Chains A and B, each alone.
Chain A
């Protein structure tokens, strides 16, 4: 039951996105131009360490921009309609799933642009891709929830940044630590506690989103 609802809602999100192409095009343009600006600004200063920091900072800004529209794009009346036909859990999980898809594509694209413009600094590519998967999931689940919270308040765009940056830091700190390893060596040892924390954060955030979201939409 929940699964079918989620399936339809994710399908709806994808169709909506493809219909209003300017939104996704806007995010892509934002991504490309930000990477190009940093490429020009950091022309002679790209080391493994700066590559890593720039990559995650840019991905964070792209994620905040891309996900903040999750709950404000459609009219409140339309939301009311969704809530009459689907459970709140399905609504929030479908948003997380859809944003995961979006973030996975955006993070792969920005990885591609980084390779193109700033050269390859990644030694352990499988580990880096694994970090991207966990990073996409974490960014999408935390930011979807923050977007839901911010959408209930006025001035929600500036609020989105204020609320999400401190909250996302634990996740980002772990992600940057793991990807730093991927940039410096092929060594997989010593990573298990970090990966366990990454998985725990993701699981608990999704569980919290599922449990807390019903309180956000009911007025």
Chain B
């Protein structure tokens, strides 16, 4: 039990730590004051979404290699959880933006990238819904997922870096190391990030299992 599920417990512990200690840790006194603490949640959820969408992409590729139906289930549930994190990330971002920029939404390449990403993956769900045949649905949506993922990466990772107009932080650093964090914040940020990513895999895992059970009952 513990041997197999340790990462689920780890996720819970890390997120509890991030939620409790995230409100206690000393943060540098910047222009945005206490809202800086949102970094642990907003950016963490962004990483959760990213890891889910990458998982979906990888499993779509794997599906096209062997046409194993279980891999299609992982791909679609990874995208589902990715969408959930995407919406949470946008909502936490809007709360934050309301305090720091005075408005919940600004015209900015990074925000556009997040919004377009949600629309792309909602369209993926619509595409799946419009094909009845199971194998055809899996194959066509895997092709769309691979195709869309690439174009979205260009939009969200490359364009904001060359356009240079973004007011959203984090465009000058590589995607894995957001900004130049104070050491005191790092001790919360990195555990929080890992916690969110593991939570994503946990939810995905549960949803895939529910789908498999449903399939078994239907047959």
Contact = CB atoms under 8 A, between A and B. Distances in A.
Interface string A153-197: 111000100110111011101100100000000000000011001
Interface string B100-142: 0000000000001000100110010011001110001001101
A176 to B, nearest CB: 11
B151 interface: yes
Contacts of A154: 130-132
A96 to B, nearest CB: 14
Given A167-B120, A177-B163, A212-B146, A142 B130 contact: no
Contacts of B154: 170, 197, 200-201
A215 B143 CA distance: 8
A173 B108 CA distance: 12
B147 A194 contact: no
A149 interface: yes
Range class of the B interface residue count: 20 to 34
A87 B120 CA distance: 30
A200 B151 CA distance: 11
B159 interface: yes
A215 B123 CA distance: 20
A155 B64 contact: no
Contact of A162 (B116, B123, B152): B123
Nearest to B115: A166
Contacts of B136: 152, 219
Contacts of A159: 126-127, 130
Contacts of B132: 154
Contacts, number: 83
A187 B170 CA distance: 30
A166 B130 contact: no
Contacts of A194: 162
A216 interface: yes
Nearest to B132: A154
B159 A174 contact: yes
A166 B140 contact: no
A170 B123 contact: no
A167 B148 contact: yes
Nearest to A151: B140
B151 A155 contact: no
Interface in A126-167: 142, 145, 149, 152-155, 159, 162-163, 165-167
Nearest to A204: B150
Given A173-B155, A197-B162, A208 B139 contact: no
Given A153-B130, A154-B131, A201-B154, A193 B147 contact: no
Given A155-B130, A166-B120, A170-B159, 7 more contacts: A159-B130, A165-B119, A170-B116, A173-B155, A200-B154, A205-B147, A216-B140
Closest 7 CB pairs of A and B: A170-B155, A166-B119, A153-B130, A166-B120, A193-B162, A152-B140, A212-B143
Interface of B: 64, 112, 116, 119-120, 123, 126-127, 130-132, 136, 139-140, 142-144, 146-148, 150-152, 154-155, 158-159, 162-163
